[in-house]
A and B are shown apart, each in its own frame.
Chain A
C-alpha cells in the first residue's frame, strides 16, 4: 500500500514536469503560427494577444508577391533538392553498403577504409575545399552544384553495411541458385527487403537537405538559385524587416517538414536511434 502511494506520487510529479516541458517545447510553434496571421501593429502591440484578430492570408500572398525575394522559386529549389537527394543518396549508400557487407572481393577492406575515412574529416574542413572543386567545375549558381556534394553519405554506407551484415544469407543463396547474378540478387531481393531502412534514412536525408544552410549559402549566390533557408535569412540582412512576411515565410519553411515528420515519425526515430549508436 505504502509503495503504491509512493509510485503514484512519483508518477504524478513526473507527468506534471513532462507536461510543463511539453508546453514549453510547443510554444514556439504556436507563436510562429499566431504571428504568421497577424498584422505588424498586432505583432508589435505591447499587450499580449493569444489569437490574431482574423485568419487572413495577406501575409502569405505578400510573401509570394515580393519580386526582390523570389520565395516561390526558392521553395521549388529546396523541394527539388530534397526530393532528389533523399532517394538518390540513400540508394547509393545502400548499394555500397551491400557490396561491402556481402560481396567478398580482394581489396574490399581498402574500399571500406576509403569510405569510412571520410567520416573522420569534420564538415568544417570540407566546406571550402568542396566549394573550390565545385566552383572550378562551374557549379556556382547551378542546380547540380547545389545537389551533387550532398548525394554521397558515407555515414549511411556504414549503417547499411551493418544492416546487411546481419541479413539472412539463405535468401541470397536461393536467389543465386535461381540464376540471378550478384547485381540481380541486390536489385530483386536485397533492395525490396531493405525498404524500412531506406525509408528511415531517406526521411532523415530529406530533412537534412531541406534544412541545410552553409552550402546553399556559398553556392547559390544569385537569388534565383536560393533555397528556402537562404531566402529566409535574407529577411534579416535587408534594410527593413517586414514582420508579417517574415513569420509567414518561416511558417512555410517549417510546416512541410513538421507534417512529414509527424507522418514518418516511427521511421525517423528508428533512423536516429540507429545512426547515433553506431557512430
Chain B
C-alpha cells in the first residue's frame, strides 16, 4: 500500500482513478474498511451492553423470572401489576418525585446565582471556581459518609449540632427525625454541595456567550443589577437553562448512591424508611432474585423519566410561544 506513496505527487494527482485501483483497495473500499474498524468496537459494545441487554430485560419484564434470567413463562402484565400494587414501591415513587421537586429548583437557583457572582468579579475567579467545583471530585458515597457521620450526625459533636449549640439549640438527630422530616436537609445539602459547581460551570459558559453590547445598552437605559438580570441575562441563558434543567431532572429521578449510603442498614434492601425506586428495584432483583419484577420496575421508572422530560419540554415550549 505504501508503494504509491513513493511516487512523485504530480504524477499521482492527474490519474487518481485508473492506476492505483488495480494494486490497492479502491478508495471506496478503503473508506469502508476504515469506517468499519473505527466504529466496530463502539457498535459491538453498545450492541451487547445496551441493545441486547434492554431487549432481554424488556422480555423478562413480561415473564415469570425468579432466580433465573432465562426467558421463561409469559405472564403478560402481571409483574407490572404486582409492582404497582406494592405500597412500598409506590412510596418510593412518591419519595423520588418529592426529592426531585425539592432538589432541582434549589440546585438551579444556587448554581445560577454562583455563576453570576463568579462571573461578575475581576480577580480571584479561578480560586472561587475551584472552591465550588472541588466537591464534584467527591463520590456520593464518600460525601454521604461525611454528611451522616460528621456534619449531620445526631451526637452533639456533629458540626450542625455544634453550630446549633452556639445558638442554644439542642442536639438533633437529623437523619432519624421524620416529623418534621429533617433528613431532607441532609439529602438536599449533600447533593447541592456535590453538584452545584458542575452546573455553575455550564452557566458561566452560557454567560460568557452573552454579547456585551446588551449589558451596555441596559446600563445606558439605567437598569439596575436585578433589572439587568431579569431582562438581559436570564432570557439570554434560555437554552442553557433548558439543557441544565433536563440534566438535573434526569439525575434526580435516578438517585440511588447517597440514599443507599445514608439509609441502608445492611438488612433487606428496599425496606428502609427512606428509599428511592432504584433502591427498591435493587432489592427485588439482587436480594429476592426476581428479575421479572425488577425489569418491570426499571421500565416503569423509565416511563416516569420520559413523562417528566416531555412535560418539561411542553411547559418551557409554551413559555417560549408566549414571548
- Chain A 131-159 interface mask (CB, 8 Å, partner B; 1/0): 11111100000000000110110100100
B201 A133 Cβ-Cβ under 8 A: no
A186 B54 Cβ-Cβ under 8 A: no
A254 B142 Cβ-Cβ under 8 A: yes
A246 in the interface, Cβ–Cβ < 8 Å?
A: yes
Chain B residues with CB under 8 A of A4: none
The residue on A at minimum CB distance from B162 is A48
A133 B56 Cβ-Cβ under 8 A: yes
- Chain A 173-188 interface mask (CB, 8 Å, partner B; 1/0): 0000111111100100
A235 in the interface, Cβ–Cβ < 8 Å?
A: yes
Q: Total interface residues on B, using CB and 8 Å?
A: 108
In the bound assembly, the distance between CA atoms of A182 and B235 in angstroms comes to: 45
B180 in the interface, Cβ–Cβ < 8 Å?
A: no
B134 A121 Cβ-Cβ under 8 A: no
Interface centre among A96, A183, A262 (most CB of B within 10 A): A96
Partner of B157, one of A48, A183, A247: A48
A28 B135 Cβ-Cβ under 8 A: yes
Chain B residues with CB under 8 A of A268: 133
Partner of A211, one of B49, B139, B157, B250: B139
A189 in the interface, Cβ–Cβ < 8 Å?
A: no
B142 A96 Cβ-Cβ under 8 A: no
In the bound assembly, the distance between CA atoms of A93 and B50 in angstroms comes to: 16
Q: How many A-B residue pairs have CB under 8 A?
A: 294
CB proximity of A235 to chain B, nearest CB, Å: 7
Interface-side segment among B83-91, B99-107, B144-152, B312-320: B144-152
B274 in the interface, Cβ–Cβ < 8 Å?
A: no
A177 B9 Cβ-Cβ under 8 A: yes
Interface-side segment among A52-60, A111-119, A194-202: A111-119
In the bound assembly, the distance between CA atoms of A238 and B154 in angstroms comes to: 19
A247 B50 Cβ-Cβ under 8 A: no
A273 B261 Cβ-Cβ under 8 A: no
Chain A residues with CB under 8 A of B133: 261, 265, 268-269
In the bound assembly, the distance between CA atoms of A229 and B253 in angstroms comes to: 21
B247 in the interface, Cβ–Cβ < 8 Å?
A: yes
Q: List 25 A-B contacts (CB under 8 A).
A: A22-B128, A25-B134, A32-B146, A93-B42, A98-B38, A99-B35, A105-B28, A111-B43, A115-B46, A122-B254, A123-B254, A124-B302, A127-B278, A128-B281, A133-B52, A154-B42, A213-B256, A243-B149, A247-B149, A250-B146, A254-B138, A261-B136, A261-B137, A268-B133, A269-B129
Pairs A-B, 6 closest by C-beta atoms: A179-B5, A237-B266, A182-B34, A129-B53, A129-B57, A152-B45
Further contacts, 4 of them, CB under 8 A, given A96-B42, A122-B254, A246-B145: A96-B43, A105-B32, A129-B56, A132-B60
